A and B are shown apart, each in its own frame.
Chain A
Amino acid sequence: MVTPQDKEKVIPFEFIPDKASETTNIDGKDYLLMNDAFYTFYQRSLGELSPFFLAIRDEKRILGCRCTVCGLVRVPPFVTHCPFCDFAPTEPVEVGQEGNMLSTPPITYFANSLFAARAPFGRGRVILEGADTALSTMLYTTTGILVPGIIKRGTEVKVIFRDERIGEITDIFCVPTAELTPQQIAEKGLQESELSWIAPAEPEFPEASAEDIAIYQRSLKEMQSLASEMSKSKRARKAIEGWKRDIAVKTRGGEFAMYIDDGDFRIEERKLESPDFVMACADPRTLLDGLSYKGAITDAVIMKRLWISKNMEFNTIFKLDRLARFLAREKKEQAAG
Chain B
Amino acid sequence: MIIAERKPFEELKGFVADKKKVLVVGCRGCVTVCNAGGTKEVGILASELRLDAGKDGRELTVDEHTLERQCDPEYIEELVEMVGKNYDAILSMACSVGPQFISTRYPDQTVYPSLNTLFMGGALQHGIWAERCQGCGNCVIHNFGGMCPVARCAKSLQNGPCGGSANGVCEISKEVDCIWHLIATKMMETGKVETDFAPVQPIKDWSTSRDGGPRKVVREDLVK
Q: Do A and B bind each other?
A: no
Q: B residues touching A (Cβ–Cβ < 8 Å)?
A: none
Binding site for B on A (CB under 8 A): none
